Copies of this chain bind each other. A is one copy, B any other.
Amino acid sequence: MDIAIPLFDRFTALDAIGPYEVLSRLPGYRVTFVAEQPGVKTTDNGMLGLVAEKAFAELAHPEIVVVPGGIGTRALMHDATMLGWVRTAHATSQFTCSVCTGSLVLGAAGILDGLEATTHWASMELLGSTGARPTSRRVVEQGKIITGAGVSAGIDMALTLAARVAGDAVAQAIQLGIEYDPQPPFDSGSLEKAPPEAIDLCRRVERAVDDGQPVRI
């Protein structure tokens, strides 16, 4: 069975690779990176290229879709090809998922109307503009739609999805395989917990990124 992760210019690498690392270990599934045209897609900071192996048209009906985020999703909200692929895939998918601002794409495709969904903390308002009901929970399940919060939340989202697809024991074995026993040196991963100086630094970066600058503290 197929898990499709769409790539596009200026995606955020960890949004895609967190779920990939979890879901590629699911028995019976294969992860494929797709794009409008196959080839190398470059991340938000221009420092890395990932290969999209297949065109959207070659994988129109994957069992699972995971849309990553990144500043590139702003353009995708008006991209008829991407939105059409998401709608078509969602019509027959077992699960349709997103990480970070990937939910803006699901929202723009019209599949979050009236549903709770999450995104990066800096994009909640924009998510609301798509018709979704933004919530700051880390993983939000609404039937077959699962959205994850910013960047690293894709790992938690994917473990939740793995449990739905293959049961708790498989998800737990995957968690052990990737040794996901988080011990960050700080407790600064949310607006509620981060110190004011870190929030100021980070908000400045978010504004700069909105203005077309690279993601850099």
Contact present for B169 and A184 (CB under 8 Å):
no
A93 to B68: give the CA distance in the assembly, Å.
Answer: 34
| A residues 137-182 in Cβ contact with B at 8 Å | 138-139, 149-153, 155-156, 159-160, 163, 166, 168-182
Kindly list chain B residues whose C-beta atoms are within 8 Å of the C-beta of A185. 139, 156, 159-160, 163, 171
Name the residue of chain B whose CB is nearest to the CB of A151.
Answer: B178
State whether A175 touches B184 (Cβ < 8 A): yes
Q: Are A176 and B188 in contact (CB under 8 A)?
A: yes
Query: Could you tell me the distance between the alpha carbons of A163 and B171 in the complex, rounded to whole angstroms?
Result: 32
Q: Is the CB of B32 within 8 A of A217?
A: no
- Contact: B33 with A20, CB < 8 Å? no
Residue A191 contacts which of B170, B176, B206 (CB distance < 8 angstroms)?
B176
Q: Which residues of B contact A26 (CB under 8 A)?
A: 216-217
Would you call A172 and B195 a contact (CB within 8 A)? Answer: yes
Please, what's the 1-or-0 string for A6-49, where 1 marks a CB less than 8 Å from any CB in chain B?
00000011100110110011110011110000001000010111
Chain B residues with Cβ below 8 Å from A199 are: 173, 176
Contact of A188 with B175 at beta-carbon distance under 8 Å, contacts A47-B31, A151-B21, A152-B180 already known:
yes
Whole-angstrom CA separation of A150 from B179 in the bound complex: 5
| A126 proximal to B (CB < 8 A) | no
Given A21-B12, A47-B30, A51-B51, A159 and B178 contact (CB-CB distance below 8 Å): no
Whether the Cβ atoms of B179 and A156 lie closer than 8 Å is no
The size class of the interface chain A forms with chain B is: 35 or more
Task: Report the minimum CB–CB distance from A15 to chain B (whole Å).
Answer: 9
Contacts of A121 in B (CB 8 A): 179
Point out residues on A near B: beta carbons under 8 Å.
Answer: 12-14, 17-18, 20-21, 24-27, 30-33, 40, 45, 47-51, 53, 100, 120-121, 138-139, 149-153, 155-156, 159-160, 163, 166, 168-186, 188-191, 193-195, 197-199, 201-202, 205-206, 215-217
- What are some 27 contacts across the A-B interface (CB < 8 A)? A12-B21, A13-B20, A14-B20, A14-B178, A21-B151, A24-B47, A24-B48, A25-B45, A31-B47, A100-B179, A138-B181, A138-B183, A139-B183, A151-B179, A152-B182, A155-B182, A156-B182, A169-B195, A171-B188, A172-B195, A173-B197, A173-B202, A173-B217, A175-B189, A177-B205, A181-B190, A182-B184
